[in-house]
Structure 1
Amino acid sequence: MSWHVFIPDSLLEETSDLKLKAYKVGQIARACAIFGVEHIWIYKAGGRDGRLIKTLLEYVETPQYLRKRIFPIMPELRYAGVMPPLQIPSHKEKTSPRIGEIREGFAFRRGKKIFADIGLDRPALVKGIAEEGRGTFKIISVKPLRVVPAEPPGYWGYKVHWSKKSLAKTLKNADLDVVIATSRRGVDVRDAEVPLEGEVGIVFGSPRKGVFEILEEFKEKYEFDLVLNTIPNQKTRTVRTEEAVLATLAIFNIMRRD
């Protein structure tokens, strides 16, 4: 089972403060990492921060030792330090290399050979076929340091998709088995039978507009498998998107059986 979280590009519309924007995105990244979300989708909802959200989400998901290689200095990352560290399995500390260890790295060409920065004191020679850029590698030799491309051993982080399309079109492109909308109008989660199997999409609205208001604004309709109120009896007038993501994933995490 894989989880896909859908958030609008209008997620940050309530503030113009770049520091606060980074903090809010960091809360969503942290919630998704805690509960093992594999995909975060950013859909078009009339906002202007799609690129910023994508950049911040990708930055905090990248191991610290690779960030300077992948991200140039840019104003969007000025306050990236306020985002909490994810501490996911791909974020390894610098240690002595061990045969069999799998690490995230960045492959680059040096002459006719491919090397990978895997966060150790020296780059590793890549054996086998590898493309330049970010990848996952397994250590097969320590002296000399050599690696081969490898698959992550389990949950390794999330991928970010900035669709630039409306919600209905984004959901169609995602090709999911189950799509669940979160809404105050939905069925009380305590009374629902939630089908958490296969590729599961969980859709969230913006701070000012719910999922159905966003669909209506784009003159769209979508047949959700389930519409859930995951925060019944809320005592605040509104629930922020980052709060809804954390609450919903926490509830679904108890329900999942994989």
Structure 2
Amino acid sequence: MSTSKRKRNDRNDGGGGGGNMNRPSNRHPQRHNSKNVNNDHQHTNHRFGRVMSQPPKLKLHRGASSSCHPTVSIAIPGSVVSNAQTRELQTQLAGQIARAAAVFRIDEIVVFDDGLGSQLTTLSNYRRGPTHRNKEKKDEDSEKRKSDDAHQDDEKPNNNEKEEKSPPHMQPSTDPHAFLARILQYCECPQYLRRKFFPMHPDLQFAGLLPPLDAPHHLRRGDVASFREGVVVDDEVSEGGSFVDCGVPNRLVQIDRVLTPGIRCTVQLDPHAYESRHKTQSNKGFIKGKVVSPTTPRDEDGQYWGYTTRLASSINSIFEECPYEGGYDLKVGTSERGDISIDDPQFCLKKKKASNKKAKLGGSSDGDGHFNHLLIVFGGVAGIEESVDADESMKLSGENSKNLFDIWVNICPYQGSRTIRTEEAVLIALSRLSPFIAKNGVAESQSKRKNRVEKTEDVVFSDESVSEESSDDE
């Protein structure tokens, strides 16, 4: 070994090198006690940068029900996608909305038609045809180039003719609402089920740009979980029930009933069932489970279990086609012309009476005021007011759009930009409204416990029985 190499190795062993900063120095062993030495392995593994093993669960109180965890729905116009110039940017915009929905535990996303969107272009920046390149040439040769392109088009079909020959289900979507809904559904689906429900499609050409939601139901290989999403397979059906592919490596799950193959379902498993192995006639290993409602993980275990996507033909269809019984009991509209600011001390998320003046301003009112189904509506580039004017089925004018909602709020009163984009408004609104949503569930569970204490059995008093407070003389 040469002298230069020996000196270089000595410097690295001394802890002065950039790659060995976490190693204890041999020159000062007294500075490193046993506790620090045991934690050296954690430092090298980036203990402050590790991925959270599981997102926090909602706190479940004794006797809690699904109403203790209210559902939160957001409505977004599909026209926001048409503002992006390319398919890549459109895909990334949809991924931002999906990420915001997963981070803030959104249960439903409504993509509605505000009547202000334009058709999407089917070509991408990475697929520029000869005609597009010729537009960038000099003006002197423009006529000659156009004649050459016309001659080539007669001999060779262009890209648009190829798209027309493709099957309808394989053509790229020109409707921004269908495109946004497909991307949102793709992001919510677990990775091991995407090939079953999402075959190859031009809208998913840039799906690799989408950020992963990493929700609790997006399980990794080898994870042991009590609930799993799966798809019913066409394999053998025994007397016990159908078989479901839940993403368990090389093993299927036999459920307690027979379902139609190809549908998605939520399966509850015993964690100890992963270790057991049953055999069928074909000598394949499987584990047993039972089908439950998709809301069971949230109601029983407090886990966030993804969102559903719904299409609405207009802003009025958002309310008329509500999937929940009784509709949305609290509707919030976001606008820069809101009646109340979210910074107002009187602001809160509670159901109000129409006669209460403070109700229109989001103030406090009598009664519990707890909601079970919250809806937050966002506008497009022109806002909710333009969407109401574009909806011919509504007699309401855009100036009176606030009458559609219980709360008409300005989520960012001191904005520095002239406009706030919809994908930005979703993040701002959900981050600022999440504390009020959390208070609703806590306050409701407390009020239910208080009502259970007050509803005690009536005590029957009799003159014949001696009171415990009476004296012996009496």
TM-score w.r.t. structure 1 length? 0.92
Structure 1 residues 139, 194: closer, same or farther in 2, change over 3 A? closer
Distance 1:45 1:56 in 2: 19
- Aligned-pair CA distance for 1:223: 2.2
What's the counterpart of residue 143 of structure 1? 277
Distance 1:101 1:189 in 2: 39
Measured against aligned partners, the alpha-carbon deviations of 1:19-65 in whole angstroms (never above 9, x if no partner) come to 11111111111111111110000111123311111110000101111
Q: 3-state SS of the aligned residue for 2:96?
A: helix
Moved more, 196-205 or 30-39: 196-205
Measured against aligned partners, the alpha-carbon deviations of 1:221-245 in whole angstroms (never above 9, x if no partner) come to 3521111110111001111101100
What's the counterpart of residue 233 of structure 1? 414
Measured against aligned partners, the alpha-carbon deviations of 1:86-140 in whole angstroms (never above 9, x if no partner) come to 11110011116x5x72111111121334221111222424231142311111234
Measured against aligned partners, the alpha-carbon deviations of 1:135-181 in whole angstroms (never above 9, x if no partner) come to 11123433122222134422200000012x21022222222101111
Q: Over alpha carbons, which structure has the higher Rg?
A: 2
What's the counterpart of residue 199 of structure 1? 373
Distance 1:105 1:244 in 2: 34
**Which has the higher relative contact order, 1 or 2, with Cα contacts under 8 A spaced 6 or more apart?**
1
Q: Number of paired residues? A: 254
What's the counterpart of residue 108 of structure 1? 233
What's the counterpart of residue 122 of structure 1? 250
Question: Is the contact between residue 98 and residue 213 of structure 2 (CA under 8 Å) also seen in structure 1?
Answer: yes
What's the counterpart of residue 255 of structure 1? 436
Q: 3-state SS of the aligned residue for 2:419?
A: coil
Question: Is the contact between residue 4 and residue 41 of structure 1 (CA under 8 Å) also seen in structure 2?
Answer: yes
Greater helix proportion: 2
- One-letter identity of the residue aligned with 1:239: I
- Aligned-pair CA distance for 1:80: 1.4
2:339 matches 1:173: no
Distance 1:242 1:177 in 2: 25
Equivalent runs, 1:178-193 vs 2, <5 Å:
178-186=330-338, 187-191=340-344, 192-193=347-348
List alignment gaps of at least 5 residues for structure 1. none
| Partner residue of 1:218 out of 377, 391, 404 | 391
Q: 3-state SS of the aligned residue for 2:333?
A: strand
| Partner residue of 2:89 out of 14, 17, 20 | 20
Distance 1:102 1:6 in 2: 28
Distance 1:193 1:128 in 2: 44
2:187 matches 1:60: yes
What's the counterpart of residue 51 of structure 2? none
Moved more, 220-229 or 75-84: 220-229
List alignment gaps of at least 5 residues for structure 2. 1-69, 118-174, 279-286, 299-303, 351-369, 397-402, 442-474
Q: 3-state SS of the aligned residue for 2:409?
A: strand
TM-score w.r.t. structure 2 length? 0.51
Percent of aligned pairs with the same amino acid: 30
